[in-house]
Structure 1
Amino acid sequence: MSKRAKAALASGLGLVALTATYLTEPWEDTKNLAYWDALGKVWTVCTGETKGVKKDDRYTDAECKEMLYETLEKDYHRPLQKCVKGFDKLPLSLQASLLDAAYNVGTGAICRSTAARRAEAKNYAGACQAVTWFNKAGGKTIRGLVLRREYGDANRMGELELCLEGVK
Protein backbone atom coordinates (compact mmCIF):
# COMPACT_ATOMS: atom_id res chain seq x y z
CA MET A 1 0.00 0.00 0.00
CA SER A 2 1.41 3.38 -1.01
CA LYS A 3 0.62 6.26 1.32
CA ARG A 4 1.65 8.85 -1.26
CA ALA A 5 -0.48 7.25 -4.00
CA LYS A 6 -3.41 7.04 -1.61
CA ALA A 7 -2.95 10.74 -0.73
CA ALA A 8 -2.73 11.70 -4.42
CA LEU A 9 -5.97 9.90 -5.22
CA ALA A 10 -7.67 11.46 -2.19
CA SER A 11 -6.59 14.96 -3.28
CA GLY A 12 -9.76 15.42 -5.32
CA LEU A 13 -7.80 16.70 -8.30
CA GLY A 14 -9.13 16.03 -11.77
CA LEU A 15 -7.24 13.85 -14.21
CA VAL A 16 -5.00 16.50 -15.79
CA ALA A 17 -4.13 18.23 -12.50
CA LEU A 18 -3.50 14.88 -10.78
CA THR A 19 -1.25 13.70 -13.60
CA ALA A 20 0.66 16.98 -13.85
CA THR A 21 1.13 17.37 -10.09
CA TYR A 22 2.03 13.85 -9.05
CA LEU A 23 3.57 12.30 -12.18
CA THR A 24 4.59 14.61 -15.02
CA GLU A 25 6.06 17.64 -13.21
CA PRO A 26 8.14 15.65 -10.73
CA TRP A 27 9.74 13.59 -13.52
CA GLU A 28 10.17 16.29 -16.14
CA ASP A 29 12.55 19.19 -15.66
CA THR A 30 10.75 22.55 -15.78
CA LYS A 31 12.79 25.46 -17.10
CA ASN A 32 11.32 28.94 -17.36
CA LEU A 33 13.80 30.16 -20.02
CA ALA A 34 13.82 28.56 -23.47
CA TYR A 35 16.75 26.23 -24.09
CA TRP A 36 18.03 24.36 -27.11
CA ASP A 37 17.22 20.67 -26.80
CA ALA A 38 20.08 19.14 -28.75
CA LEU A 39 18.45 15.69 -28.68
CA GLY A 40 15.18 16.92 -30.17
CA LYS A 41 16.91 19.71 -32.09
CA VAL A 42 14.26 22.21 -31.06
CA TRP A 43 13.77 25.16 -28.71
CA THR A 44 12.05 23.95 -25.56
CA VAL A 45 10.62 25.69 -22.48
CA CYS A 46 8.75 24.94 -19.28
CA THR A 47 7.94 21.24 -18.89
CA GLY A 48 8.95 20.12 -22.37
CA GLU A 49 6.88 22.52 -24.48
CA THR A 50 8.20 22.95 -28.02
CA LYS A 51 5.30 24.41 -30.04
CA GLY A 52 6.09 27.95 -31.14
CA VAL A 53 9.03 28.29 -28.75
CA LYS A 54 11.77 30.72 -29.73
CA LYS A 55 15.15 31.58 -28.28
CA ASP A 56 14.87 33.88 -25.24
CA ASP A 57 11.21 32.98 -24.54
CA ARG A 58 10.57 33.17 -20.80
CA TYR A 59 7.55 32.09 -18.76
CA THR A 60 6.54 32.26 -15.11
CA ASP A 61 5.94 29.13 -13.05
CA ALA A 62 2.19 29.74 -13.33
CA GLU A 63 2.39 30.11 -17.12
CA CYS A 64 4.42 26.90 -17.35
CA LYS A 65 1.85 25.02 -15.27
CA GLU A 66 -1.01 26.33 -17.42
CA MET A 67 0.89 25.37 -20.58
CA LEU A 68 1.43 21.85 -19.23
CA TYR A 69 -2.26 21.47 -18.32
CA GLU A 70 -3.35 22.62 -21.78
CA THR A 71 -0.85 20.32 -23.50
CA LEU A 72 -1.86 17.32 -21.38
CA GLU A 73 -5.53 17.96 -22.15
CA LYS A 74 -5.41 18.80 -25.86
CA ASP A 75 -2.45 16.79 -27.11
CA TYR A 76 -2.66 13.70 -24.91
CA HIS A 77 -5.96 13.28 -23.02
CA ARG A 78 -8.25 13.94 -25.99
CA PRO A 79 -6.36 11.57 -28.32
CA LEU A 80 -6.40 8.88 -25.61
CA GLN A 81 -10.16 9.33 -25.29
CA LYS A 82 -10.45 8.53 -29.00
CA CYS A 83 -8.07 5.60 -29.22
CA VAL A 84 -8.69 3.79 -25.91
CA LYS A 85 -12.29 2.60 -25.81
CA GLY A 86 -13.95 3.69 -22.56
CA PHE A 87 -10.92 5.74 -21.46
CA ASP A 88 -12.96 8.11 -19.27
CA LYS A 89 -14.56 5.18 -17.45
CA LEU A 90 -11.22 3.63 -16.48
CA PRO A 91 -10.05 4.03 -12.87
CA LEU A 92 -8.60 7.53 -12.44
CA SER A 93 -5.23 6.12 -11.41
CA LEU A 94 -4.98 4.11 -14.65
CA GLN A 95 -6.03 7.12 -16.72
CA ALA A 96 -3.30 9.18 -15.03
CA SER A 97 -0.65 6.52 -15.64
CA LEU A 98 -1.59 6.24 -19.30
CA LEU A 99 -1.71 10.02 -19.68
CA ASP A 100 1.73 10.53 -18.14
CA ALA A 101 3.19 7.71 -20.21
CA ALA A 102 1.67 9.23 -23.36
CA TYR A 103 3.26 12.59 -22.51
CA ASN A 104 6.61 10.85 -22.19
CA VAL A 105 6.51 8.37 -25.11
CA GLY A 106 3.73 9.69 -27.35
CA THR A 107 0.05 8.92 -27.74
CA GLY A 108 0.62 6.62 -30.72
CA ALA A 109 2.75 4.27 -28.66
CA ILE A 110 0.18 4.17 -25.86
CA CYS A 111 -2.79 3.81 -28.23
CA ARG A 112 -1.18 0.76 -29.86
CA SER A 113 0.03 -0.73 -26.58
CA THR A 114 -0.79 -3.85 -24.63
CA ALA A 115 -1.62 -1.49 -21.76
CA ALA A 116 -4.43 0.07 -23.82
CA ARG A 117 -5.77 -3.33 -24.92
CA ARG A 118 -5.74 -4.61 -21.34
CA ALA A 119 -7.47 -1.44 -20.12
CA GLU A 120 -10.21 -1.88 -22.74
CA ALA A 121 -10.63 -5.50 -21.58
CA LYS A 122 -11.00 -4.27 -17.97
CA ASN A 123 -7.76 -6.00 -16.96
CA TYR A 124 -6.74 -2.92 -15.01
CA ALA A 125 -3.87 -4.39 -12.99
CA GLY A 126 -2.51 -5.94 -16.19
CA ALA A 127 -2.75 -2.56 -17.93
CA CYS A 128 -0.86 -0.93 -15.07
CA GLN A 129 1.84 -3.57 -15.37
CA ALA A 130 2.08 -3.16 -19.16
CA VAL A 131 2.79 0.58 -18.82
CA THR A 132 6.06 -0.37 -17.09
CA TRP A 133 7.35 -1.82 -20.35
CA PHE A 134 7.99 1.71 -21.66
CA ASN A 135 11.33 1.87 -19.86
CA LYS A 136 13.79 1.96 -22.76
CA ALA A 137 15.45 4.64 -24.85
CA GLY A 138 17.59 3.77 -27.82
CA GLY A 139 16.90 0.08 -27.15
CA LYS A 140 18.45 0.23 -23.67
CA THR A 141 16.68 0.04 -20.33
CA ILE A 142 17.07 3.39 -18.58
CA ARG A 143 17.07 3.46 -14.77
CA GLY A 144 15.18 6.77 -14.65
CA LEU A 145 12.44 5.36 -16.87
CA VAL A 146 12.23 2.20 -14.77
CA LEU A 147 11.72 4.36 -11.68
CA ARG A 148 9.15 6.59 -13.43
CA ARG A 149 7.18 3.64 -14.78
CA GLU A 150 7.27 1.57 -11.58
CA TYR A 151 7.49 2.74 -7.96
CA GLY A 152 9.40 5.99 -8.26
CA ASP A 153 12.09 7.04 -5.84
CA ALA A 154 12.25 8.74 -2.46
CA ASN A 155 10.92 12.03 -3.87
CA ARG A 156 8.72 11.04 -6.81
CA MET A 157 5.85 8.64 -7.26
CA GLY A 158 5.96 6.10 -10.09
CA GLU A 159 3.14 5.41 -12.52
CA LEU A 160 2.70 1.81 -11.36
CA GLU A 161 2.62 2.92 -7.73
CA LEU A 162 -0.28 5.29 -8.42
CA CYS A 163 -1.97 3.00 -10.94
CA LEU A 164 -2.20 -0.07 -8.73
CA GLU A 165 -3.42 1.90 -5.73
CA GLY A 166 -6.49 2.97 -7.68
CA VAL A 167 -7.42 -0.38 -9.21
CA LYS A 168 -7.63 -2.39 -5.99
Structure 2
Amino acid sequence: MGQTFTRQQCQDMLYQDLVPHANALGCISQPLTDGQRAAFLSFAFNVGEGAFCRSTLVRKANAGDVQGACAELSRWTYAGGKQLPGLVQRRAAERQMCEGGLA
Protein backbone atom coordinates (compact mmCIF):
# COMPACT_ATOMS: atom_id res chain seq x y z
CA MET A 1 0.00 0.00 0.00
CA GLY A 2 1.31 3.42 -0.90
CA GLN A 3 3.81 2.04 -3.40
CA THR A 4 4.05 3.48 -6.88
CA PHE A 5 5.51 1.88 -9.97
CA THR A 6 6.35 3.00 -13.47
CA ARG A 7 4.41 1.62 -16.42
CA GLN A 8 7.46 -0.47 -17.36
CA GLN A 9 7.75 -1.90 -13.84
CA CYS A 10 4.06 -2.84 -13.94
CA GLN A 11 4.48 -4.54 -17.32
CA ASP A 12 7.53 -6.43 -16.04
CA MET A 13 5.65 -7.61 -12.93
CA LEU A 14 2.67 -8.71 -15.02
CA TYR A 15 4.94 -10.64 -17.37
CA GLN A 16 6.62 -12.38 -14.43
CA ASP A 17 3.19 -13.33 -13.07
CA LEU A 18 1.89 -14.56 -16.45
CA VAL A 19 4.80 -16.76 -17.48
CA PRO A 20 4.06 -19.61 -15.04
CA HIS A 21 0.44 -19.71 -16.25
CA ALA A 22 1.51 -20.12 -19.87
CA ASN A 23 2.13 -23.80 -19.06
CA ALA A 24 -1.65 -24.23 -18.77
CA LEU A 25 -1.93 -23.68 -22.51
CA GLY A 26 -0.17 -27.01 -22.91
CA CYS A 27 -3.50 -28.64 -21.97
CA ILE A 28 -4.78 -27.65 -25.41
CA SER A 29 -3.51 -29.82 -28.22
CA GLN A 30 -5.08 -27.86 -31.09
CA PRO A 31 -3.38 -24.90 -32.78
CA LEU A 32 -4.56 -21.52 -31.50
CA THR A 33 -4.56 -18.03 -32.95
CA ASP A 34 -2.73 -15.31 -31.02
CA GLY A 35 -6.10 -13.96 -29.84
CA GLN A 36 -7.21 -17.37 -28.59
CA ARG A 37 -3.88 -17.91 -26.88
CA ALA A 38 -4.08 -14.51 -25.15
CA ALA A 39 -7.70 -15.04 -24.08
CA PHE A 40 -7.03 -18.52 -22.70
CA LEU A 41 -3.87 -17.34 -20.91
CA SER A 42 -5.84 -14.51 -19.27
CA PHE A 43 -8.51 -17.01 -18.24
CA ALA A 44 -5.96 -19.53 -16.89
CA PHE A 45 -4.22 -16.74 -14.97
CA ASN A 46 -7.55 -15.89 -13.32
CA VAL A 47 -8.89 -19.39 -12.55
CA GLY A 48 -5.65 -21.33 -12.13
CA GLU A 49 -4.00 -24.02 -14.21
CA GLY A 50 -5.91 -26.91 -12.63
CA ALA A 51 -9.36 -25.43 -13.19
CA PHE A 52 -8.35 -24.40 -16.69
CA CYS A 53 -7.07 -27.84 -17.68
CA ARG A 54 -10.16 -29.59 -16.23
CA SER A 55 -12.61 -27.18 -17.88
CA THR A 56 -15.15 -27.86 -20.60
CA LEU A 57 -13.42 -25.05 -22.47
CA VAL A 58 -10.29 -27.18 -22.84
CA ARG A 59 -12.28 -30.29 -23.72
CA LYS A 60 -14.08 -28.37 -26.49
CA ALA A 61 -10.85 -26.86 -27.80
CA ASN A 62 -9.18 -30.27 -27.91
CA ALA A 63 -12.18 -31.68 -29.76
CA GLY A 64 -11.66 -29.02 -32.44
CA ASP A 65 -14.59 -26.85 -31.33
CA VAL A 66 -12.63 -23.65 -30.72
CA GLN A 67 -15.72 -21.49 -31.24
CA GLY A 68 -17.47 -23.49 -28.50
CA ALA A 69 -14.38 -23.14 -26.32
CA CYS A 70 -14.47 -19.36 -26.73
CA ALA A 71 -18.17 -19.37 -25.81
CA GLU A 72 -17.36 -21.23 -22.58
CA LEU A 73 -15.60 -18.12 -21.29
CA SER A 74 -18.99 -16.46 -20.76
CA ARG A 75 -19.95 -19.15 -18.25
CA TRP A 76 -17.16 -18.28 -15.80
CA THR A 77 -18.65 -15.11 -14.29
CA TYR A 78 -19.43 -16.34 -10.77
CA ALA A 79 -17.46 -16.23 -7.54
CA GLY A 80 -18.85 -17.27 -4.20
CA GLY A 81 -22.12 -18.21 -5.90
CA LYS A 82 -22.70 -14.68 -7.18
CA GLN A 83 -22.32 -13.28 -10.67
CA LEU A 84 -19.80 -10.45 -10.46
CA PRO A 85 -19.92 -7.50 -12.87
CA GLY A 86 -16.12 -7.42 -13.06
CA LEU A 87 -15.99 -11.05 -14.14
CA VAL A 88 -18.76 -10.47 -16.68
CA GLN A 89 -16.67 -7.66 -18.20
CA ARG A 90 -13.42 -9.63 -18.05
CA ARG A 91 -14.95 -12.70 -19.71
CA ALA A 92 -16.62 -10.56 -22.40
CA ALA A 93 -13.24 -9.02 -23.23
CA GLU A 94 -11.56 -12.45 -23.27
CA ARG A 95 -14.31 -13.88 -25.46
CA GLN A 96 -14.05 -10.99 -27.92
CA MET A 97 -10.29 -11.54 -28.10
CA CYS A 98 -10.81 -15.29 -28.52
CA GLU A 99 -13.38 -14.96 -31.29
CA GLY A 100 -11.51 -12.22 -33.10
CA GLY A 101 -9.83 -14.66 -35.46
CA LEU A 102 -12.81 -16.92 -36.09
CA ALA A 103 -14.73 -16.86 -39.36
TM interval, shorter chain, is 0.7 to 0.9
Which among 114, 122, 125 is matched to residue 64 of structure 2? 122
Point out where structure 2 has 5 or more consecutive residues left out of the alignment.
Answer: none
Q: How many positions carry a matched residue from both structures? A: 103
| Runs of 4+ more than 4 Å apart | none
> What is the identity, as a one-letter code, of the residue corresponding to 1:120?
N
Query: Distance between the aligned counterparts of 2:71 and 2:101, measured in 1?
Result: 13
TM (norm. structure 2) is 0.86
- Structure number having the greater strand percentage: 1
TM (norm. structure 1) is 0.56
Change (3 A) 1:140 1:126: same
C-alpha contact (below 8 Å) 2:77/2:87 kept by paired residues: yes
RMSD of aligned Cα (Å): 1.9
- Structure 1 residue 149: Cα displacement: 0.6
Point out where structure 1 has 5 or more consecutive residues left out of the alignment.
Answer: 1-30, 34-57, 151-157
Structure index of larger Rg: 1
Confirm whether residue 61 of structure 1 aligns to residue 7 of structure 2: yes
| Higher normalized contact order (CA 8 Å, seq sep 6+, divided by chain length) | 2
- Aligned residue for 1:79? 24
C-alpha contact (below 8 Å) 1:32/1:60 kept by paired residues: no
